[in-house]
Amino acid sequence: MLFSNLYDLLVGIPAILIALTFHEYAHGQVANYLGDPTPGQQGRLTLNPLAHLDLLGTLMLVLFRFGWAKPVQINPMYFRNGYRVGTMMVGAAGPLANLLLAFIAAVALSLVGHGHLLLFRFLYYLVIYNLVLAVFNLIPLPPLDGSRILAGVLPSRSLAAYYGIERYGPIILLALVFFGVIGYILNPLVNALWRLLTLAVGMA
């Protein structure tokens, strides 16, 4: 999504940085909680955006309303609750963090109102980009978080077949992007979540 003007760009970029940072920070913290020291060793247990940004992923988010940050590396062998459950929890942590942050921003947005235009626009973008990141990452294609969640709930007999397409995940994802399918997936879901949030916080 292209910003309509420089003003929106200046308030939208911080919203993007916050959404990406909290997404990856949540992955790292859950992995660390489950016993994996890898995120801490790689300096990912921080809210400093510079530790999490992927230049291309951030640019894609600015331009096309979907994108990514630098993935948090994990070693599931450390997980106290097992490989599959732990990996699923780590995968779910990022989108859940974005949904929580979107809700908090929506509450703040309902309190601020249009009287403070700069803050209003920032909070608006903070809601939207957190919703976009949550929905996009829940698509069950590797390397997105949805693939980790799906792998955690699939029957064991189906895992081999699912892992067999893992190497093609990025190619499939790029094809979906190129042919515009991602937009058809994201837009209705993001709009529906936006409507639910506005109803939940009592915002017209």
Structure tokens at 190: 């993001």
Q: pLDDT by residue (tens digit) across 7-16? A: 777 888 899 8
Q: How far apart are CA 143 and CA 23, in angstroms?
A: 15
Those residues with Cβ within 8 angstroms of residue 109's Cβ, 6 or more apart along the chain or in another chain: 120, 123, 124, 127, 201, 203
166 belongs to the catalytic site: no
pLDDT bracket for residue 1 (50, 70, 90) = very low
Question: For 101-127, what is each residue's pLDDT tens digit?
Answer: 999 999 999 998 777 888 999 999 999
- In the chain, what are the domain boundaries? 6-200
- Among the options 24, 31, 92, 135, which is catalytic? 24
